[in-house]
Amino acid sequence: VARDRQFVVFALVSILLVLSIGHLGSTLSVFTVDRLGFSSAQYGLLLTTNGIVVVLFQYPVTRVVSRLAKSTGLVLGSLLYVAGYASLGWIGSFNLALLSIFLITAGEVTLSPISSTVVAECAPPDKRGRYMGFFTLSQTVGQSLSPLFGGVLLDAFPTDPRFVWGIIASVGLIAAIGFHLWGRLKYQSAAVDGDLDSLKT
């Protein structure tokens, strides 16, 4: 897997993205309950909203984004995440927090199916399990680091959440740029190989 440059770049950019988006169960809980004064039930409702939106919209959104170029879908999903997390720096009410969660979940339902498709398309037919395992490992690295990342930011900026969520969103923006550059790398490689089917992705 490590010899596949395109796939390794995709996995590394995915680590960056997960470092930015993996805060629903950690940083967000501390921020909403301890900093904004939400009740535990309200925080639970935010997570419930995330789950309901996924259930209701995952299938129709997947049908729509399947028509997009893979790199375009990855960038779009990343930017929705960026918008959702950046907006948390300015919320002051539960209703605004629900709007932020909706944006974050929109990024989730856009990005998740595309990521799995990219892994499947990058992998040779006899190595798909290996590629998926490598990708899952990269996701786990990001998920493991994101609570530490968020905690450090909460300690560093105890009174101004705009810096906390702005920095988190900035990492997501870097990942979006990374996916765009990955798409160009994939396009150039396909052009060299003369693989017209790959050009469509």
Q: Are 10 and 73 in contact (CB under 8 A)?
A: no
Q: What is the pLDDT of residues 152-194, one digit of tens each?
A: 999 999 999 999 999 999 999 999 999 999 998 876 666 555 5
Average model confidence (pLDDT) for the chain? 91
Q: Is 71 exposed, middle or buried (0-12, 13-18, 19+ CB in 10 A)?
A: buried
Q: What is the pLDDT of residues 3-53, one digit of tens each?
A: 898 899 999 999 999 999 999 999 999 999 999 999 999 999 999 999 999
The amino acid present at 33, given as its one-letter code, is V
Distance separating alpha carbons of residues 7 and 152, to the nearest angstrom: 31
Q: Please, what is the angle between helix 40-65 and helix 94-122, to 10°?
A: 40
Q: What is the pLDDT of residues 52-70, one digit of tens each?
A: 999 999 999 999 998 999 9
Report yes or no on whether pTM surpasses 0.85.
Answer: yes
Q: What is the per-residue pLDDT for 32?
A: 96
The amino acid present at 87, given as its one-letter code, is S
pLDDT of residue 149 exceeding 90, the answer is yes
Question: Where residue 92 falls among pLDDT bands split at 50, 70, 90?
Answer: confident
Buried b (16+ CB within 10 A) or exposed e, 121-160: ebbeeeeeeebeebbeebbebbbeebbebbeebbeebeee
DSSP state for residue 159 in the 8-state scheme: S
